[in-house]
Amino acid sequence: MLNNLKASAIFLLIVLCGPNSAYADLLEYEVKAVFLERFTRFIEWPGMNPVEKPLQKFVIGVIGKNPFGGFLEQIYSEKKIKDRKVEIRYIKKATESLSCHLLFISASQRRDLVQLLSFTEDKPILTVGDSKGFAEKGVLINFYMDKRMLRFAINEAAVRKSGLIMDYRLLQFAKIVKPVHGE
């Protein structure tokens, strides 16, 4: 309950301060860090049964420049995802992304996005970004700001290709985007 109130208060501060201040940017990424876990509540990974491999960790990877600061470690040091402890990994190469359940793709990876997605596109890896056009290029979930409100877009075709099963309730709250072909 307290975490929900804290997240709501942070989100309200972002809206009031606007996305242009440095403080608001930090708060924005704290909210995004919380949203990562919220997304997983509405997604099923094939073969992820807590009874079968209870000691296996849920791996969140970040590739590119880390916009979260220490928020991921702070939030997930005690919090579990899918009844598993969370491990945060900072990925340097696209091939390392294959060990992740969730991969946050930083804006600094824009130039290498197509190559990176060629490694993840048919794997059960939830890719998440926050850069304009990322969802259309194949990132499964992409944050964006709309009238100073944090929103997210989902590339439903890319989700189906990944093998992840996404609950319709998550899709209801998202902007559904079509993939861009020929890039």
pLDDT at site 180 = 78
Neighbours of 16 (CB within 10 A): 9
Q: What sign for the dihedral angle of Cα 99, 102, 105, 111?
A: positive
pTM of the model: 0.83
pLDDT at site 10 = 46
- CB-based contact 153:174 (threshold 8 Å): yes
Average pLDDT per block of 10 residues along the chain, 183 residues long: 49 45 67 95 85 79 96 94 95 95 97 96 97 97 93 97 96 91 51
pLDDT at site 50 = 58
pLDDT at site 159 = 97
pLDDT at site 53 = 63
Question: Which domains are delineated in the chain?
Answer: 2-176 (3.40.50)
As to burial, measured by CB atoms within 10 angstroms (0-12 exposed, 13-18 middle, 19+ buried), residue 163 is middle
pLDDT at site 52 = 60
pLDDT at site 15 = 46
